[in-house]
Amino acid sequence: MSGSGGVGRRDVLKLGALGLGVGAVGGIVPGGGEAQEAGPRGRHGHGTGPAPRNLPVADPMDEVRIGFVGVGGMGGAHVRNLLQIEGARLVALCDIDATRAEEVAGWVVDAGQPRPALYTRGEQDFRRMCEEAELDLVYTATPWEWHVPVCLAAMENGKHAATEVPAAYTMDDCWALVEYAERYGKHCVMMENCNYDRPEMMVFHMARLGMFGEILHGECGYLHDLRAIKFAPDGEGLWRRNHSWVRNGNLYPTHGLGPVANVMDINRGDRFDYLVSMSGPSRGLQEYAREHFPEGSPERRETFALGDVNVSLIRTAQGRTIYVSHDTNLPRPYSRIHLLQGTKGIFQGYPNRVYVEGRSPAHTWEPAEDYREEFEHPLWKDLRAMSAGAGHGGMDFIEDYRLIKCLREGLPTDMNVYDAAAISAVGPLSEWSVANRSRPVDVPDFTRGRWKEWPQLGILRA
C-alpha cells in the first residue's frame, strides 16, 4: 500500500539500495560476550584493531568552504546561521527543489558572499557536487535515508561531513560512517543541537563541578506529538511517516540521549554496553487519520508497525543506566525528560528543577532558574547575544558556531563519528530487541577500546 507521500512500503524497504536498509540490524544476535555482527563487520571489514589513538583532528583552515545538501526548513535555518559565522562560506547548494535552492542562494548573495553553485538535477546530484566543487565541508539536512549516502560521498571525495540527526539508522551504516572517516581521515559529525540547549549545558557544567556527585542514572527521550507533521502534504510529511509503516523501535533517540551521553562520558571513559527495548500498540496514527481524512482516502487505509510508545534501557560498561523513550504518535506536550541522578543530587527537566543534597531544602525541588546565575555554562555566556533569534532558542546557532570554530582551529569536534555511530545505533538495536521479545542486544564498541583512553569533553568556550 502506498501512502500519500508517494512512497510505497516496498519503496521504503528498497532504500537499502542507497546504502541504507530500514530497520535492518545486519545479522546482530544476542548472547554472551560481544554481539555477532556478521553483516556490519563483514561488509565493512572492521577487524579487532583499535580506532586511532587520538581523537580525530584535521589541519586548521582560515575559511570553511561549505556545500549544503537539503536547504528546506532545517537546512535553511542552518544556512542562515552559517552566514553569520566568521570564516564560513557557502560555496554550493544542493536541493531537489530548484526554486528553493535559488531562494537560498539569494540569501548568500545578500549576506555579501559570492553566488553559490547550484546542484538541482535530482536526488543524486549531491554526488556531482562532492566530486567537482572545491569544498572543505559537506553538510546535509535531508530526509534520514540520505544522511549516510551524502556523508560517504563527501568523505570519499576529500571533504568533511556533517549531518542532521540521526546520522544513520542501520548498523551497517553506522559502521560505514566510522570506516570512511578513518579511511579518508575526515570528520563526520552528527549535529545534535540539543547538546547545546541552555538547560542541558548548565547541567553538564554542574556535573563537571561535582554538584551531583557520581552520575549513576539518566532518563531522556523524544516525546513530541508529530501526528500533524507526519500527515502533512509537504516538508517532513513527505517522508517521515514512511518509517512508521515498517519500523518498530526507538526511531529518534539522539535529542535526549546526546546530552546524557556527554555527561556520562560515553566514548570518553564509558560506553554503551547493551540495551533492551519494548514497544506498545500502534493506535495514534490510525485514529488521527480517521479523524482528519474523509472516508475512502488512502491515509485511512494505512497501517503502522511503529508502537506509539517505545521504552529502551541502556546499561553502560561502568554500570550506569539510561532510560530512553520515544513517543511521537499520541497527544502530549513536548518533552525530552532530561533527568540526571547522582550520588549527591538530581536534575529533572520539563519543568526544569534541581535537588542538591546539603544545599536544597530537604526533600524539596528548587527551580533550575535559581541555579542559572551561578552555573550558566560559559559557552552560553559567550554566545547568548550572537545566538539570539536563532532556531530552537539559540542552540542551533551554537552548534553551527562550534563546528566552524573546531574546523578553523584544527580542534577535535565536540561530537565525532564514534559518537554519531553509538548514539544512532540505539535506533536499529532497539528495533531488533523489540522484534525479539525485548531480548538484550550488545551495543558495538565503535572505538574498539579507545573509550578507555580518550579524554572527557571539557568545558567549552566560544
Dihedral angle, C-alpha 64, 393, 380, 374, nearest 10 °: -170
pLDDT at 366: 98
Among 23, 24, 58, 49, CA closest to 445: 49
What are 441's strand-pairing partners? 275
pLDDT at 49: 81
Instruction: Walk me through the domains of the chain, giving residue ranges and CATH numbers.
Output: 64-164 (3.40.50.720), 195-387+417-452 (3.30.360.10)
The SS3 call for residue 149 is helix
What average pLDDT is seen over the chain? Answer: 91
Which pairing describes strands 366-367 and 353-356: parallel, antiparallel, or unpaired? antiparallel
| Contacts with 398 (C-beta within 8 Å, 6 or more apart), sequence order | 196, 379, 380, 383, 387, 390
In terms of Cβ atoms closer than 10 Å to its own Cβ (0-12, 13-18, 19+), residue 210 is exposed
| Sheet of strand 345-348, all strands in order from the earlier edge strand to the far edge | 366-367, 353-356, 345-348, 339-342, 215-223, 321-327, 309-316, 272-279, 441-442
**Which helix or strand (DSSP H or E) is residue 225 part of?**
none
| Contacts with 315 (C-beta within 8 Å, 6 or more apart), sequence order | 273, 274, 275, 321, 322
Cis-peptide, bond into residue 166, ω within 30° of zero: yes
CA–CA separation, 40 and 33 (whole Å): 17
Q: What is the pLDDT of residues 261-270, one digit of tens each?
A: 999 999 999 9
Burial code of 165-182, b = ≥16 C-beta within 10 A, e = fewer?
A: bbbbbbbbbbbbbbbbbb
pLDDT at 50: 86
Q: Are 323 and 220 in contact (CB under 8 A)?
A: yes
Amino acid at 325: S
Q: Which residues of the chain have pLDDT under 50?
A: 1-10, 12-45
What are 161's strand-pairing partners? 138, 188
The residue written with cell numbers 525541588 in the block is: 365
CA–CA separation, 446 and 427 (whole Å): 15
CA–CA separation, 44 and 13 (whole Å): 21
pLDDT at 433: 98
The SS3 call for residue 340 is strand
| Contacts with 234 (C-beta within 8 Å, 6 or more apart), sequence order | none
The number of beta carbons lying within 10 Å of the beta carbon of residue 344 is 15
CA–CA separation, 193 and 396 (whole Å): 5
Among 395, 447, 394, CA closest to 420: 447
CA–CA separation, 302 and 14 (whole Å): 19
pTM equals 0.92
